[in-house]
Amino acid sequence: MENRWIMLIDMDAFFASVEQYRNHPELIGRPVCVGHDPKKGNGRGVVRAVSYEARAYGIHSGMPVSKAYRLCPEAAFVNGEFSNYVVASNEFMDVLREYSDEGRLRRASIDEAYIEVTEGTCEYGNPIFLAQDLQAAVKQETSLPCSIGIAPNMSVAKIAAGMKKPRGITLVGPNPRDIIEFLAPLDVQALHGVGKKTAARLKDFGIQKLGQIQKMSLTELWPIMGKSSKWLLNRASGIDTRPLLDNGPRVRKSISKDKTFMKDIDPDLPEIINNYIVRICKKITKKLHMKELAFKTVTVKIRYADYTTVQRSRTIPRYCDDIHTLSSIACNLFDQNRNPLKAIRLIGVKVSSLHQISNQMTLTQYL
Ligand SMILES: [Mg+2]
């Protein structure tokens, strides 16, 4: 089978990060617990989420707030509002949708999702570049940090995402041997689906690491795991053929395409960038026509070699779907907003304020 690229994007300490980076910037860098007021150690209830700074004191989610208070009396206790997390989650998923292959976003929980980026990787050349841009875009659009695991399938991507938290990017594969080596030293519980009970049973038979399972045959594993043996053998070796079925929000809010340059483009050569902008606009227009959509807003993103990024938008009074309008607005935005002294790493174009223009509607417009 042709190689796929799957990413699992997981927000870092999600609830606590929303409190720090969106609701209470004064709490950035401080230990934060989401949960009830500890009332100086006499409060009731449990901590629901913990910032990385608070984790350093040994506080974890599910711990009574009274105990958390004793471990770190100077921690900020915030009674979080769930609706804030839902809003942040939706914004996060919107960014992922822009980077995922068409119809390939699988929401796994409020703060994590799988996306397929097999096609996207062809454009970027390397999935790491795509992940870096995605991570920067999530930060820019939601203010929140995330970690990314990249692998040829969902199971390995999930494990990879947890390797370098917070703000990590971990790539595993595509060579099956690299995947085997990556998994071998890990505890059996690293596999999503192996809980405490299964781990305890495996331990009774002296099995604690995935590498041990990799070396076993189905007949050897069967007396221990029964019907789950095949599944466990496959997952321990990083084999997971499940297709990534889309369950994300369906409404398309924007279409965007980026181009990251293999070598930064000299600021004296804006015409090279203009050529790329036209090429990007052609691709976007093709997609607009396929989906029978028209746009009103055009955004151009310029990322410089030093990773600073500017975005500028223009909204036109009428819906439009032709390449000439799009590319002239985009090139214009670029010319007017570029810094003539800085080399460019990435250029991107996005159309938004979309509107469906089905045949039916065109007909009614004529009537
Ligand atoms: Mg998370």
Rounded distance from Cα 267 to ligand 1 centre (Å): 39
Whether 48 and 15 have beta carbons less than 8 Å apart is answered as yes
**For the chain, what is the mean pLDDT?**
92
pLDDT class of 365 with cuts at 50, 70, 90: very low
Q: How far is the CA of 56 from the centre of ligand 1 (A)?
A: 17
CA distances from 28 to 11, 22, 61, 345 (A): 16, 10, 19, 29
Q: How far, in Å, from the CA of 243 to the mean position of ligand 1?
A: 23
Tell me the DSSP string of 70-114: HH-TTSEEE---HHHHHHHHHHHHHHHHHHSPTT-EEEEETTEEE
Question: What is the whole-number distance in angstroms between the Cα of residue 200 and the centre of ligand 1?
Answer: 26
| Dist. CA 200–CA 223, nearest whole Å | 15
Q: Which of 169-178, 254-263, 269-278, 294-303 has the lowest mean pLDDT?
A: 254-263
* 22 and 90 co-located in one domain: no
Instruction: State pLDDT tens for residues 267-291.
Output: 888 899 999 999 999 999 999 988 8
Q: What is the CATH number of the domain that holds 90?
A: 3.30.70.270
Separation CA 247–CA 245 (nearest Å): 6
Q: For position 69, what pLDDT does the model report?
A: 96
Question: What is the CATH number for 218?
Answer: 1.10.150.20
Same domain, 49 and 67: yes
Whether 367 is in a domain gets the answer no
For residue 165, report the distance from its CA to the centre of ligand 1, in Å: 9
Distance from residue 233's CA to the centre of ligand 1 (Å): 27
Residue 109 in any domain: the answer is yes
Q: How much is the average pLDDT of 354-366?
A: 55
Helix pair 218-225, 196-204: axis angle to 10 deg: 120
DSSP 147-161: EEEEESSHHHHHHHH
Q: State the residue range of the domain holding 151.
A: 6-13+83-174
pTM of the predicted protein model: 0.74
Question: For residues 338 and 269, what is the distance between their CA atoms, to the nearest angstrom?
Answer: 12
Considering only 108-117, 148-157, 199-208, 265-274, which range has the smallest mean pLDDT?
A: 265-274
Q: How many CB atoms lie within 10 A of CB 251?
A: 8
State both tokens at 120: 């996207």
Active site residues: 112
Q: Please tell me whether residues 328 and 269 are part of one structural domain.
A: yes
Residue 77 lies in a domain: yes
Verify that 210 and 285 share a domain, yes or no: no
Which residues, in sequence order, are CB contacts of 147 under 8 Å at separation 6+? Answer: 9, 10, 12, 161, 162, 164, 165, 166, 167, 168, 169, 170
pLDDT at 125 over 90: no
Confidence class for position 202, pLDDT limits 50, 70, 90: very high
**pLDDT confidence of residue 254:** 86
